Amino acid sequence: MTDWYPDEELRELASLRNGAPERQALVLRLASAAEAERDYWTDFLRLTDRLYAASARVEPPAGLEERLLLIADEQPMAAPRWKQVLRNSLNWKSVAACLLIVLAARNLAVWWSSLPPEKPLLASNVAAVISKDAVKFTDSNRALDVTGGDAGQVQTALASRGLPFPVMVLHPKVKLDLFGGGTCDLDGTPAAYTRWQSNGQNYTVFQFDGSKMGVPSDFRATSQTPSALWHDSRHYHVVIWPGKVGGCTWVVVMESDGAQDVFSGLLY
């Protein structure tokens, strides 16, 4: 059996774009070629098409084609022996694979740079103060200033209290019963709150101007579990998150660490 090796001239033809007349001549020749040769060039042509398709998705820098043509016209310089060995060892598949990796890395870099910056964390000491005051108020103030289950009426009543921010009542996507709300202070900062219940679980939601306490206008939602304030069946769990308008901060106090958080992330 005679060993078969790919011809370099045919390799150049197989590196042309699909539809080139020279490449079509190679395709016609494959019809009468041996199975090993036909399989080799079929795979090679398929890889060439993939390479051209991948490169078409990337916008080349301006003037790149002209610079490459100038390089091709220059008189080649004698390369060191190690470079000649390396050059001869590289085949078209290796070059194509490297180019595809470069293109993929470039696309990944473009995608990564388009991502919005990650939100900062709320300072742990600020989160602890907010959580502690919200739980203490919830624990010691069971009566409400405003009672009623109509969110619009409760919002209107709280808005009339002259708070330094527009009062809003959130609308959870699950069914909760609204009992009413009121106004209070969290670490000396005026706040509005509403109280809800679902399946025996109580929720108290606070709204205040967090900038007065050093809260940034935007941050990642923060979860707090002030276990030192737990007693009886009240295992308080707190979530703090930013509002849609800068300076507005929201807090929900759940009276059970097993309660489902249905408020954080809601806006208006």
What residue spans of 115-245 are helical by DSSP H?
124-140, 151-159
Give the integer Cα–Cα distance in Å for 66 and 38.
Answer: 36
Same domain, yes or no, for 165 and 142? yes
* Secondary structure class of 79 (helix, strand, coil): coil
Residue 263: inside a domain: no
Six-digit token string for 109: 């870099």
Cα atoms in the 13 Å half-sphere on the side-chain side of 211: 9
Same domain, yes or no, for 89 and 41? yes
Residue 69: inside a domain: no
Six-digit token string for 203: 């929720």
Same domain, yes or no, for 136 and 233? yes
Q: Which domain holds residue 101?
A: 8-60+82-114
Q: Which of 114, 137, 154 is the last residue of a domain?
A: 114
Same domain, yes or no, for 43 and 130? no
Residue 205: inside a domain: yes
Same domain, yes or no, for 17 and 132? no
Same domain, yes or no, for 137 and 24? no
Residue 1: inside a domain: no
Residue 215: inside a domain: yes
**Would you state the pLDDT for residue 1?**
40
**Would you state the pLDDT for residue 230?**
93
Number of structural domains (the chain) is 2
Kind plus residue range of the DSSP H or E element containing 56: helix 35-56
**For the chain, counts of helices (H) and of strands (E):** 8, 7
At 184, the amino acid letter reads: C
Q: Which of 91, 114, 137 is the last residue of a domain?
A: 114
Residue 266: inside a domain: no
pLDDT tens across 197-238, in order?
988 889 999 999 998 888 988 888 899 999 999 999 899 999
Residue 224: inside a domain: yes
Residue 175: inside a domain: yes
Q: Which residues of the chain have pLDDT under 50?
A: 1-2, 268
Same domain, yes or no, for 244 and 146? yes
Same domain, yes or no, for 93 and 157? no
Same domain, yes or no, for 176 and 93? no
Same domain, yes or no, for 29 and 151? no
Same domain, yes or no, for 130 and 107? no
Same domain, yes or no, for 141 and 45? no
Q: Which of 90, 114, 138 is the last residue of a domain?
A: 114
**Would you state the pLDDT for residue 181?**
96
Give the integer Cα–Cα distance in Å for 17 and 14.
Answer: 8
